[in-house]
Homo-oligomer: A and B are copies of this chain.
């Protein structure tokens, strides 16, 4: 069976960190290897290319994040509360990243998507897929909220897209201004969009 190794995981972790903190273009294979404590030969033993590692890293990050989202958007929780909890979670995550990196990093899927979607179609397809899945959390929460009459009755899909675009825009601004405070208006903004009653 040969020997075992954690190098693959270390490479994935390093890739996620470096892309998130910087960008895809600013993240070189050498940087990744250095951060992971892995020699370049080993890199190419585990991954065919830089793109391939990025794909694996995105997959891994999303799989982890989905676990949290599945809890936050549990049908047991009141629907509007799900969305608010999600936003509070965003903020908390960004706070942790800020403590670690000294910077607000925003949403990596979004930032990466803006950068590579016209350049690398395999990455673009993967990011598309993740965003499509993400929006479904909002969609079903919104539908549930509408069913119980606690928000406005527009097309649920349309509302979900607005909330989603809004949250991504806000995260980008927080990144650009390196300002956690920008995330404070998350909940009040969502309430305005959704016309939350009471």
Contacts and interface: CB of A to CB of B under 8 A. Distances in A.
Interface of A: 21-26, 103, 105-106, 110-111, 113-119, 124, 127-128, 131, 152, 154, 158-159, 161-162, 164-170, 172-173, 175-178, 185, 188-189, 192-193, 195
A135 to B, nearest CB: 10
Contact of A158 (B169, B173, B188): B188
Nearest to A120: B26
Number of copies: 2
Nearest to A185: B158
Given A25-B25, A26-B25, A193-B193, A114 B175 contact: yes
A141 B157 CA distance: 27
Given A114-B175, A117-B178, A165-B189, 4 more contacts: A23-B116, A23-B118, A117-B176, A193-B193
A127 B177 CA distance: 10
A178 B176 CA distance: 24
Contacts of A117: 175-176, 178
29 contacts: A22-B118, A22-B119, A23-B116, A23-B118, A25-B25, A25-B26, A26-B119, A105-B118, A110-B114, A110-B172, A113-B175, A114-B114, A114-B115, A114-B172, A117-B175, A118-B175, A131-B176, A152-B192, A161-B170, A161-B185, A162-B192, A162-B193, A164-B169, A165-B172, A165-B189, A166-B166, A168-B169, A169-B169, A195-B195
Contacts of A167: 165, 169
Nearest to A25: B25
